[in-house]
Amino acid sequence: MERRKVDGIARDTLEFILEASKAMTPDDFASLLIAEDKVVDDVIILPGTESSRMTASIKHYMLPNMRIVGSAHSHPTSNISPSKEDLFFFLRSGDYHIIAGPPFTEKNWACYDAEGERRVLPVIDVEFEDEGL
């Protein structure tokens, strides 16, 4: 998989991840990250994604033809370190992986690379264009 460098994550995108994680509790939330112009600015939730209190599972065969840069998921406990299962998943889905934990605020998340090493992912204020939907 091609590794793409990003400069940060849009604040609105991070807030969506944190809110979705909180709303899914006690089940895990899982999604994939998309970057435009080197900023993570979108989240995709694939059809068939399964969530439970123990794990969340993304169906890789459902991946669209998009440039996925990583993933975001929640842990139901305050331990936001990657598990062995997380590390296996990270290797298959990009190089920026967010794990959020309770109480799901901007202080309760971390980003990891594909090998599970913690990395800095700055939060960036981005103006999104209104698409008139």
**CATH number, domain containing residue 30:** 3.40.140.10
Q: Give me the number of domains the chain comprises.
A: 1
Residue 91 has a pLDDT of 84
Q: Is residue 32 part of a domain?
A: yes
Look up the domain containing 50 and give its range: 8-123
As separate numbers, helices (DSSP H) first and strands (DSSP E) second, the chain gives 2, 10
Q: Is residue 132 part of a domain?
A: no
How confident is residue 99, by pLDDT bands cut at 50, 70 and 90?
very high
Q: What is the mean pLDDT of residues 119-123?
A: 96
- What is the Cα–Cα distance from 43 to 45, expressed in whole angstroms? 7
- What is the Cα–Cα distance from 53 to 112, expressed in whole angstroms? 22
- What is the Cα–Cα distance from 56 to 5, expressed in whole angstroms? 26
